[in-house]
């Protein structure tokens, strides 16, 4: 009787264990099916149920000393913190993919909490049908409320263009046959425009004259658009490069700093050009990027093009730098924010701030950079 009852008990235990294992396998199969169907809520509930069943079955099998636990992968040592089975057993798109995603997120750079919002591009356009002139000169003043105007000269003569307001006079070399754009950087008021023909040497004769009263809708507009000293379009390489920086900047300060670092790190001073530059030299920002060299005006022009194209008002300044009264070109930018230091100049909120990329890129000492008091501004573009 003792032997018989023991055999019966063994069979009952074996049947019980087999039923429990079948139940566990069915539950796990149901959970996998729900995960594969993408029903996350039902899949989570089924996963919890399967995890509890697996835990119970693992304990029972372990107590019975059943070798099947090694084959089936049950047991606490294979479970993650939620009690479910090893993620390597998970179907694609569930815990396995989530684990990979989590691992990838830890190695990827964190997204900035905020991003610099790039303002719309402000370009220039010549309207010949709205222009005035004498057949050889076309002066387009239809855009003066936007802070700029256009000029087109069709002559083989050497021409000079003058813009006069109050006591200030700006002289520009004219490229015949090309549409040229100029800023109304002197603000609102009465302007005189004179196209001058070179007679001989430094003598010029007035060829065409016009006048206009200017009211600019946005005072910053002249410094947000291309002009003859910073000539670019939205498709220029310098604008595309600047857009890459802007899209990866948390705010305007970081964007300006990236432009500053880029110009300083990539553009070298062209001493040969500096020794042979001719009067009327006009910079080409894309060419400066391509050749990776230039004179002070090239630095200032490239910086202005990159900053303006992404909505940062930027001036090109001509003037003198003490102690040696070097005739020089540099930049100023405008931002309502502040807080970082650039080329020994503290950014001041809602004010113009000086950037001298030529001296910074070439390691000038503080005698030239200083606190800004040794910069004498003469012309602004």
Band of the pLDDT at 285, cuts 50, 70, 90? very high
Query: Residue 284: is its pLDDT beyond 90?
Result: yes
Q: Is 281 helix (H, G, I), strand (E, B) or coil?
A: coil
Mean pLDDT, to the nearest integer, of 246-252? 94
Mean pLDDT, to the nearest integer, of 208-213? 98
Domain boundaries of the chain, sorted by first residue: 2-107, 128-223, 237-380
pTM: 0.67
Query: Residue 264: is its pLDDT beyond 50?
Result: yes
Band of the pLDDT at 66, cuts 50, 70, 90? very low
Between residues 98 and 224, which one has the greater pLDDT? Answer: 224
Highest mean pLDDT (candidates 4-13, 101-110, 259-268, 361-370): 259-268
Element (H or E) spanning 357, and its range?
Answer: helix 357-361
Which pLDDT score, from 0 to 100, does residue 32 have? 53
Query: Residue 311: is its pLDDT beyond 90?
Result: yes
Band of the pLDDT at 207, cuts 50, 70, 90? very high
The 10s digit of each residue's pLDDT in 145-182 is 999 999 999 999 999 999 999 999 999 999 999 999 99
For tokens 């990838």, what's the residue? 104
Assigned CATH for 128-223: 2.60.40.10
Band of the pLDDT at 82, cuts 50, 70, 90? very low
For the ranges 2-16, 93-107, 323-337, the lowest mean pLDDT is seen at 93-107
* Structure-token pair, residue 110: 């964190």
Query: Residue 16: is its pLDDT beyond 60?
Result: no
Yes or no: domain 237-380 corresponds to CATH 3.10.620.30: yes
Which pLDDT score, from 0 to 100, does residue 343 have? 39
When the pLDDT of each residue in the chain is averaged and rounded to a whole number, the result is 74
State the Cα–Cα distance between residues 236 and 32, nearest whole angstrom. 54
For the ranges 8-22, 149-163, 234-248, 332-346, the lowest mean pLDDT is seen at 8-22
Between residues 295 and 68, which one has the greater pLDDT? Answer: 295
State the Cα–Cα distance between residues 301 and 226, nearest whole angstrom. 10
Which pLDDT score, from 0 to 100, does residue 255 have? 93
Closest CA to 227 of 123, 119, 130: 123
State the Cα–Cα distance between residues 183 and 146, nearest whole angstrom. 9
Which pLDDT score, from 0 to 100, does residue 65 have? 37
Burial class (CB within 10 angstroms; exposed 0-12, middle 13-18, buried 19+) of 158: middle
Closest CA to 260 of 181, 348, 345: 345
The 10s digit of each residue's pLDDT in 314-373 is 999 888 887 778 788 888 888 776 532 333 333 345 666 666 767 666 665 545 445 566
Highest mean pLDDT (candidates 69-83, 255-269, 331-345): 255-269
């Amino acid at each position: 009787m003792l032997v018989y009852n023991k055999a019966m008990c063994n069979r009952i235990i074996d049947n019980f264990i087999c039923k429990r294992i079948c139940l566990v396998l069915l539950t796990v199969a149901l959970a996998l099916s729900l995960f594969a169907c993408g029903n996350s809520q039902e899949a989570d509930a089924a996963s919890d149920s399967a995890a509890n069943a697996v835990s119970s079955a693992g304990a029972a099998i372990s107590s019975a000393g059943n070798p099947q636990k090694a084959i089936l992968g049950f047991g606490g040592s294979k479970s993650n913190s939620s009690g479910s089975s090893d993620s390597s057993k998970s179907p694609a798109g569930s815990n396995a993919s989530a684990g990979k995603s989590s691992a990838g997120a830890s190695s990827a750079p964190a997204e900035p909490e905020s991003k610099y919002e790039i303002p719309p591009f402000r370009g220039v356009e010549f309207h010949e049908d709205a222009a005035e002139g004498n057949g050889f000169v076309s002066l387009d003043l239809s855009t003066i409320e936007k802070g700029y105007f256009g000029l087109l000269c069709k002559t083989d003569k050497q021409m000079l263009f003058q813009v006069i307001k109050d006591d200030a006079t700006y002289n520009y070399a004219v490229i015949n046959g090309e549409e040229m754009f100029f800023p109304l950087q002197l603000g609102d008021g009465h302007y005189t425009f004179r196209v001058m023909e070179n007679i001989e040497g430094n003598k010029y004769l007035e060829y065409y004259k016009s006048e206009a009263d200017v009211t600019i809708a946005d005072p910053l507009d002249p410094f947000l658009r291309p002009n003859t000293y910073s000539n670019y379009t939205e498709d220029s390489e310098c604008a595309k490069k600047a857009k890459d920086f802007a899209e990866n900047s948390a705010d305007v300060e970081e964007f300006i700093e990236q432009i500053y670092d880029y110009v300083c790190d990539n553009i070298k001073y062209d001493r040969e050009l500096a020794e042979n530059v001719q009067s009327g030299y006009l910079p080409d920002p894309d060419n400066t990027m391509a050749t990776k060299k230039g004179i002070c005006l090239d630095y200032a022009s490239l910086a202005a093009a990159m900053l303006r194209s992404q909505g940062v008002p930027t001036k090109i300044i001509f003037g003198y730098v003490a102690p040696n009264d070097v005739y020089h070109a540099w930049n100023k930018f405008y931002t309502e924010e502040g807080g970082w230091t650039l080329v020994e100049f503290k950014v001041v909120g809602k004010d113009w701030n000086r950037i001298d990329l030529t001296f910074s890129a070439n390691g000038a000492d503080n005698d030239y950079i200083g606190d800004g008091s040794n910069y004498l501004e003469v012309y602004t573009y």
